[in-house]
A = this chain, B = another copy of it.
Amino acid sequence: MRATVLPETLADILELTAEVGDRLAARAAAVDAGTEPSEPGYRELREAGLPALLVPRAAGGAGLDFAGYTRVLETLAARDAATALGFNMHNVAIGALCESADTPLPAGAEEFRHWVFTEVTEGRALFASAVSEPGTGAKLRALRTTYRADGDGYVLDGTKSFVSLSGLADYFVVAAAAREGADEVSHFVVAADDPGVRFGELWEGAAMNGTRTGGLVLDGVRLPRSRLFLGVEGMSLYKLVREPHWMVAGYTGVYLGIAQALFDHVVDFVRGSARHRDSPVVRHEVGRLSAELRAARALVYAAGELVVARRGSTEANASVHAAKYTVGELAPRLALAAVRICGASALGRARPVERLLRESSFALVMPAKPDECLEYLGKAALGVNLRDVDSLDW
């Protein structure tokens, strides 16, 4: 199938995203409740060509940078946060590769990059990221999934947890160590239907069912050399330390979108209720939420622009950690404020607020977690060299 050509300008892409998102929004409650599958939402995204947002223009994508991407994600998540979060996993998986588009690479790596871009643009493939493992979370240096050379390729063994897009993505970018717990970590692209790949049960959580998140077992999965990410072993940890923005804050737009949706809901509710609209106390509370949302958005956008201008700098990295932390704390607090203002109706299953409250709480548990963000920021402020791989417990 031939890829849809995405619009040229960010404004037009945002408009397209809003249109697609409005269609997704209509099904979001049912997907959350488990009465509808999440697959059709992702099909909409594929059909609109959105998986190629980050792929360079020259390769048939929209060539969005991190800043633009964050705004698209925000727009989508304000309508359907779960699908937006799932979609983000695709972009986290290929984001750094897309950003490398202007950098010439050795032959093998060029080929790999070309293959990924083509899969996305022509094959409309969805990728997903498989890093976390049971018990140790997303710590690259505690991986128990291993790879070993075998003839002209590799064999992977291990178990991943919290893998999104289970049964939806075509490929999974799997982090594996040369030995258990080794610093030498590489990424490999595993196809959903590669022999030895098995999907576990889906995780049942408080929300975000639409991401179809669950376990992934790799049982002696053989891969050709061409599936080694960028054709070089042992680069994963180095890359993460240098440019953590995808891993740490790719999804920031999701929680900004949730916060915006909550704010919009509060405004609609208050405008529709004379008793609330005329209350100075309610107006002030709305004003306070407005101020908090504006500050979080300004920071998220500024962080996005810093990544574009100075990718890999400690300043840009600190900024994305600050953005993630700030919007991650804001979203659930804003959800509680929405409940406080809108009252009992906000907690009815028919209204989105209670779902947004549950969804917003995921911001507090996804890596980089709040404490990890603050540790990064504290160390950055105190002059610790954060480009040293030993400065943090990645």
Contacts and interface: CB of A to CB of B under 8 A. Distances in A.
A322 B281 contact: no
A267 B362 contact: no
Q: How many monomers of this chain does the complex have?
A: 4
Contacts of A283: 374-375, 378-379, 382
A307 interface: no
A102 to B, nearest CB: 27
Nearest to A366: B344
| A interface, size bucket | 35 or more
A98 to B, nearest CB: 25
The CB with the most chain B CB atoms within 10 A, among A162, A291, A371, is that of: A291
Contacts of A284: 281, 371, 374-375, 378
A357 B206 contact: yes
Interface stretch (A75-83, A144-152, A295-303): A295-303
Interface stretch (A172-180, A184-192, A332-340): A332-340
A300 to B, nearest CB: 8
Interface stretch (A54-62, A223-231, A346-354): A346-354
B322 A347 contact: no
Given A283-B378, A336-B361, A357-B358, 11 more contacts: A204-B348, A205-B344, A286-B378, A286-B381, A290-B381, A301-B302, A332-B339, A339-B361, A340-B369, A347-B361, A347-B365
Interface string A277-298: 1011111111110111011101
A203 to B, nearest CB: 7
B302 A290 contact: no
14 contacts: A203-B348, A204-B349, A205-B348, A205-B354, A271-B383, A283-B382, A286-B378, A287-B376, A287-B379, A290-B318, A290-B378, A294-B326, A295-B296, A298-B301
A128 interface: no
Contacts of A364: 336, 339-340
Contacts of A299: 294-295, 298-299
A332 B336 contact: yes
Contact of A357 (B267, B361, B381): B361
B288 A374 contact: yes
A380 interface: yes
Contacts of A376: 287
Contacts of A343: 137, 365, 369
A326 B203 CA distance: 35
A370 interface: yes
User: What is the interface of chain A mostly: helix, strand, loop, or mixed?
Assistant: helix
B277 A280 contact: no
The CB with the most chain B CB atoms within 10 A, among A137, A287, A379, A382, is that of: A287
A73 interface: no
A136 to B, nearest CB: 9
A31 interface: no
Contacts of A381: 263, 267, 286-287, 290
Given A301-B302, A365-B347, A287 B204 contact: no
A92 interface: no
A260 to B, nearest CB: 12
Given A281-B284, A286-B377, A364-B336, A302 B291 contact: no
A270 interface: yes
